[in-house]
Amino acid sequence: MTPGQERAFREYWPRYGVDFDPAQPLDFHALFGNDNPVWVEIGFGDGESLAAMAKTFPGRNYLGIEVHTPGVGHLLLRLAEENIGNVRLMSADAMEILQQIIPAGSLSGVQLFFPDPWHKKKHHKRRIVQPRFVELMATLLKPGGLFHAATDWEDYAEHMLQHFSARDDLFENLSDSNDYVPQPQSRPTTKFERRGQRLGHGVRDLMFKRTPAPFSSD
């Protein structure tokens, strides 16, 4: 981390940061001080797009998850500089957070923008989107809640589309063509997206809505 990012942790983590305690489920009302809809972003990178969305949608609460501490420090500085109050941050393993401390049916949206594609076939099992991840999203999202993903790897886009489409009892694809949606105005263009575009990668957005169908892990 840069000296500025280290300072951000010291000064601003008490305001914006949430320490991971597997024995303590999150209380979003206590965390944000209101009952506004809660959106989670998994892997927010440097946090620029998350900060922009939080400013655009002040009626939403955002919980950002990122293990890369320089990115967390960068976003802490941005939140403090612009006095953005509807964001809280966690720096721990996303799957542990999602599985252990987020209450079922508590989320209005989950965002997964430009995750690690693990592009080699032998590494596909490491991709975060797997059948158990789809079921976890069905557990955490409210009926009508949205899962929004974006990637500049065509193979990973197809991978995510396949896994979510396989659970059409739980998720409705919001694409008119039953595959990808145009980039919504609500999603700012990210640094990773611009890098992918420079490399000639096409960007694909996927958006699925949680159906009212009940889900049981049994």
Domain boundaries, the chain: 3-210
User: Is the domain covering 3-210 a CATH 3.40.710.10 domain?
Assistant: no
Q: In terms of Cα–Cα distance, which of 136, 54, 132 is closest to 103? A: 136
User: Catalytic residues, which ones?
Assistant: 116
Query: Among 27-36, 124-133, 194-203, where is mean pLDDT lowest?
Result: 194-203
Share of the chain above pLDDT 70, in %: 94
Tell me the pLDDT tens digit for each residue of 163-191: 999 999 999 999 999 999 999 999 998 77
Q: In terms of Cα–Cα distance, which of 159, 149, 155 is closest to 113? A: 149
Q: Is 165 buried (19+), middle (13-18) or exposed (0-12) by CB count in 10 A?
A: middle
What's the pLDDT band for 142 if we cut at 50, 70, 90? Answer: very high
The pLDDT of residue 118 is above 50? no
To the nearest whole number, what is the mean pLDDT of the chain? 92
pLDDT of residue 218: 57
pLDDT of residue 80: 96
